[in-house]
Amino acid sequence: MKPNSNYKNLKDSYLFRNIAMKVKAYQEANPDKHIYRLGIGDVTLPLADEVVKALHRAVEDQAHAETFHGYMNECGADFLRSAIAGHYKKRGVDLSVDEVFVSSGASDELGDILDLFAYGKTTALITEPAYPAYLDASIMAGRRILTLETGMENGFVPQPGMPVKEWSDSQSDDKTPDVIYICSPNNPTGSVLNRQQLAKWVEYADSVGAVILFDAAYEAFIEEEDVPHSIFEIEGARTCAIEICSLSKTAGFTGTRCGYTVIPGELERDGMKLNDMWVRNRTTKTNGVSYIIQRGAEAVFTDKGREQIQKNIAVYKENAKCLMKALDAAGISYVGGKNAPYVWMQCPNGLKSWECFDLLLNEIQVVGTPGAGFGSCGEGYFRFSSFGSPEDTAEAARRIYELWKS
């Protein structure tokens, strides 16, 4: 047997392990100190009441022969696919039910979807800083990888035409991608692409025949009018984009697991319809998401469910505001926080990301995530998450201000 040698090209993912080790060592040496955790990318508030009720009802359904469900449609139950299509409709995006695929979450899809693109012949463009799964999944699948780095000078907003670097050892001069990863609102930077900026990517992808993998995992945090929640709000996207979304951050489903993927009927390459290919893929490689979870997810899209999840999101947004206020008062530059649960800070005084981590942990017991873990252009930056408790976030913000006020 020959193993997939692409795995040799993966870098050790030491980011979160390293953070955990450093925090553990600090806590052992300082057992009396409370640590303020702003590093987590996981939600902390419980599921909305409407979701919990729907889950209970679905468990009860499974207890009786008349309402029992066995295998579900591999692409998703009609009731949930319709509810998701209805959610898009409210934003003016028309989707047919069979353009929506229910998944167990965005991570699963970001890896699996690469099955649609020719093995050994696909060039992936990753806009950085980036959620690490894009790079790792592309490496595992043996893709040629290009990176496009953003920075403070462009507000961490990637645009076509910006310089592209070769990540793999390809000698090819042709820097045209087949697949483009875009995440808006972005993890880790919290930056967003407005309508015009996203339209430039759609125009570019259509002109070179690339497919955009649009990660909309944080769309529910968007509050500015001019920021699209879905790439399908942009004209022309139906022939060049796949959208991957998740209920993890929208509705606290990180441990419950449900997401969805949209593949328009018009999306074709070489006469092959990607939607049909994905149906074939799903009916082969999964037996779908459980009935109980899909009923819980359906409740997210009801009026009452929406209202309740918005209340949770409002708590995280208040946390982000509190952090931004402290950074503003201390005169520290950052992006994000407004349309996303992440605040991306430029490390003050020329500190490197890990130096900043050590300083914050040792001096004020605040834990965040070093930007260097999200690609080399993340060096010198630091991610704060707003998923912590309001009390801890407020105290952490106060300590950050006290440490760096001029």
- Residues lying near ligand PLP in the complex (CB under 6 A) are found at 41, 105-107, 131, 183, 187, 215, 217, 246, 248, 254, 259
The smaller minimum CB distance to ligand PLP, of residues 215 and 243, is found at 215
The residue behind tokens 């319809």 is: 273
Number of H helices and number of E strands within the chain?
Answer: 12, 16
The smaller minimum CB distance to ligand PLP, of residues 248 and 281, is found at 248
Nearest approach, Cβ of residue 110 and ligand PLP (Å): 6
The smaller minimum CB distance to ligand PLP, of residues 250 and 393, is found at 250
135: which 2 tokens? 């790079």
Nearest to 49 by CA among 307, 274, 355, 259: 307
Report CA 40 to chain centroid distance, whole Å: 14
Which residues contact residue 270 at a Cβ distance below 8 angstroms, ignoring those fewer than 6 apart?
Answer: none
Nearest approach, Cβ of residue 15 and ligand PLP (Å): 13
The smaller minimum CB distance to ligand PLP, of residues 41 and 155, is found at 41
Nearest approach, Cβ of residue 225 and ligand PLP (Å): 22
The residue behind tokens 């009452």 is: 304
**Euclidean distance between CA atoms 365 and 73, whole angstroms:** 49
106: which 2 tokens? 């965005």
The smaller minimum CB distance to ligand PLP, of residues 218 and 404, is found at 218
The secondary structure of 381-405, three-state, reads: EEEEECCCCHHHHHHHHHHHHHHHC
The smaller minimum CB distance to ligand PLP, of residues 191 and 246, is found at 246
Nearest approach, Cβ of residue 271 and ligand PLP (Å): 31
Nearest approach, Cβ of residue 184 and ligand PLP (Å): 10
The smaller minimum CB distance to ligand PLP, of residues 147 and 187, is found at 187
| Beta sheet of 369-370, edge-to-edge order | 334-336, 342-346, 381-385, 369-370
**Euclidean distance between CA atoms 147 and 88, whole angstroms:** 31
**Phi (first) and psi of residue 224, to 5 degrees:** -85, 135
168: which 2 tokens? 């793999």
Which residues contact residue 193 at a Cβ distance below 8 angstroms, ignoring those fewer than 6 apart?
Answer: 157, 158, 182, 184, 201, 227, 228
Nearest approach, Cβ of residue 120 and ligand PLP (Å): 26
Nearest approach, Cβ of residue 359 and ligand PLP (Å): 26
Sign of CA dihedral 216, 218, 220, 221: negative
**Euclidean distance between CA atoms 289 and 74, whole angstroms:** 7
Nearest approach, Cβ of residue 231 and ligand PLP (Å): 14
User: Largest Cα–Cα distance of the chain, in whole Å?
Assistant: 69
The smaller minimum CB distance to ligand PLP, of residues 232 and 253, is found at 253
